[in-house]
Chains A and B, each alone.
Chain A
């Protein structure tokens, strides 16, 4: 018994060492490079499951900040007015602004950082700026302080707008990255699965965000993915590791429009129950519309999206095709089921 488990540990260690030598994904000088078992990654520290995306964390931060400011406006409006150089005797207005701040803040905290709640902060910022503008024109205000306060509010407005925009576009990243790990058992031997995957032109038949992959040579390929409004996003990628029947790793080449790295591992499942296929992918979406398109590929739950891709791969390998309900009858305009 003890000998058996020792042996197993030894085997696992050997396995680990091999992995370490053999590269997955990490970053070096801003570029995606091989390695993964040694802990380095394209997105170091990006936690994959459960934790909040950085956009959501920003939203929470802004919400909490708003509640704090709102409480101050509500409780010590006069002192606050003095601090920002506003004319006195506007307690009522400042308190109302405080209530607005708190309402937006509570909205963000209770609605799980929805984009709408953050947009309500942007609307509030606009009102605040309007009031500060009015204060600046008033003879009874301290213009220097009002200008400082305006600068501070403008800064907050900018942050609110960026956060709201990212959330509206569905961009959620961790350390600027979308990263995912998905595993699925497929009841087929490693060889066939590896071969089908290694033929990269097959990937778009089950990976929904890809339009096509063109093979350039043994290692290089050109990837075309769905872009904003019917356009495409394209990049060149190269295979950085290729162990027949076991492992393939690839990454976008330097200077690509989209920073991407991925790997797939084929390991025999215990008891001859087929193969465990593990996919790891990391995308660093650029700012702007291309970034939004990249984010839209994976939606709120990138693991789930790619698991569906992997499930289609499984269906193809086990049953020969991908089952669909598109085009079936229904008593409504479009017949498809949700995907």
Chain B
């Protein structure tokens, strides 16, 4: 079959690889009908995530039809149309039972490696480095889905792929990030980053009762899409973010602030180059520019929610602000399985149609060009969906 594989920094290739097989009794094989490129994959593309190996199959946002099941798959059958959650979770361990699926203890065969980096290992993730298991991903014609009963949701109504595909990651990710903001009536939520997760966070914040959402980015198409979702916007290249936020909130600051940017943040001015150089010299792995701003802007006693991906160490973290302002920090890989059903219900109810985020459609064979375009944010690219 054809699969999009990682071969090095900014080097993706669609190559022929063997078809996946059932390897564990609770596996299913899914014939992929749609797969998306996730913003978090750009960190792999740009070489910021360690333990990638040449030939790793990419992709953790995908859906399709089950074509084979292992002997212990109970809730799914061949022929089921499913969306697959990006973390791989057993459903049996301490964390899965608490619905903290992205912290599953049993799905990372390389847990020792993650333990060295993080102290403890998170769950396995499709196509997201060997630190999270080295599982082959879904930017392929077929994909193996371990623990298929836990990690898939069956799509029975007549939704199009684009309406339900993003249950695999970005819709739950934006939703969980908003949920973490503990939104109260009248609250203002500021969101750094209007990429796909930021877009879903904006809509989720409103669904959860935010009075006002202020979205921060620099790309006109993304700011426009944020405004379409009801947000006020700040172009951080035009105005000072902190000052503007204070003006908009009477000096108090947003009730919660969200960093939907992560480790490759960008900003005008010298501080950006300070972090970029430190990162290039390997004395800092992540650039926490958006996170610093979010912490500084957040109101006293407020919440900073971080759906943006971080992988290692950051520098100049304003811990004094966190402590003295009594901030709450909430973060984590998304416990995606927890949101599959409730968010599918939201879609069915017409609360949100996730297909709004799609800007580009292409074939799997064009994945390398897709990555390049998404990385450069050319042509107003926000979300790419690929079909076989």
Residue A107 lies at the interface, judged by CB distance under 8 Å to chain B: no
Residues in B whose Cβ lies below 8 Å from that of A311:
105-106, 111
Q: Determine if B106 and A319 form an interchain contact, defined as CB atoms under 8 angstroms apart.
A: yes
Known: A323-B124, A327-B21, A331-B13. 14 other contacts (CB 8 A): A304-B112, A304-B115, A311-B111, A314-B105, A325-B23, A325-B109, A325-B134, A327-B23, A328-B20, A332-B53, A332-B54, A335-B18, A337-B130, A338-B110
Q: Which residues of B contact A318 (CB under 8 A)?
A: 90, 92-93, 105-106
In whole angstroms, what is the CA distance A189 to B53 when docked? Answer: 39
B57–A330 CB distance below 8 A: yes
Tell me whether A308 and B55 are in contact in the complex, defined as CB-CB below 8 angstroms, given that A274-B94, A320-B72, A329-B136 are known contacts: no
**Residues of A with C-beta under 8 A to B92:** 187, 318-319
User: Which residues of the partner chain B approach A307 to less than 8 Å between Cβ atoms?
Assistant: 112
- A324 CB-CB contact with B under 8 Å: yes
Q: How far is the CA of A329 from the CA of B14 in the complex (A)?
A: 13
**Chain B residues whose CB sits within 8 angstroms of the CB of A324 once the complex forms:** 23-24, 109
Give a binary string over A87-112; 1 marks a CB under 8 Å from any B CB, 0 the rest.
Answer: 00000000000000000000000000
**B267-300 residues at the A interface, CB under 8 angstroms:** none
Interface size class of A (residues with CB under 8 A): 20 to 34
- Whether B106 lies near A315 (C-beta < 8 A) is yes
Q: Mark B86-109 against chain A: 1 for CB-CB distance below 8 A, else 0.
A: 000010111001000000011101
Selected A-B contacts with CB under 8 Å, 15 pairs: A304-B112, A308-B111, A318-B92, A319-B92, A320-B26, A321-B24, A321-B26, A323-B90, A323-B106, A327-B23, A329-B3, A330-B55, A331-B13, A331-B56, A338-B113
Tell me which residues across on chain A come within 8 A of B19, comparing CB atoms.
329
Q: Which of A247-304 contact B (CB under 8 A)?
A: 273-274, 304
**Do B25 and A187 touch (CB < 8 A)?**
no
Interface residues in chain A, defined as those with a beta carbon under 8 Å from any beta carbon in chain B:
185, 187, 273-274, 304, 307-308, 311, 314-315, 318-321, 323-332, 335, 337-339
User: Are A331 and B3 in contact, with the CB atoms below 8 A?
Assistant: yes
- Main secondary structure, interface of A, reads loop
Asked if B5 is at the interface of the complex by the 8 Å CB criterion, the answer is yes
CB nearest to A333 among chain B residues: B55
CB of B1 within 8 A of CB of A329, answer yes
Which of B13, B26, B136 sits near A330, CB closer than 8 Å? B136
B219 cross-chain contacts in A, Cβ below 8 A:
none
Known contacts A329-B19, A330-B5: A323-B109 contact under CB 8 Å: yes
Asked whether any CB of chain A lies closer than 8 Å to the CB of B7, the reply is: yes
Min Cβ gap A68→B in Å is 34
Give complex CA distance A330, B113 in Å.
Answer: 20
A324 CA to B124 CA, complexed, in Å: 11
What is the CB-to-nearest-CB distance from B151 to chain A, in angstroms, rounded to a whole number?
12
The CB with the most chain B CB atoms within 10 A, among A307, A325, A329, A339, is that of A329
Give the most central of A274, A315, A324, A326: most B CB within 10 Å. Answer: A315
B150 CB, nearest partner CB in chain A, Å: 10
Closest CB-CB distance, B115 to chain A, in whole Å? 8
Tell me the bound Cα distance from A266 to B110 in angstroms: 25
B133: Cβ under 8 A from any A Cβ: yes
B23-60 near A? 1/0 per residue, CB < 8 Å: 11110000000000000000000000001011111000
Q: Is B216 an interface residue (CB 8 A)?
A: no
B144 on the A face (CB < 8 A): yes
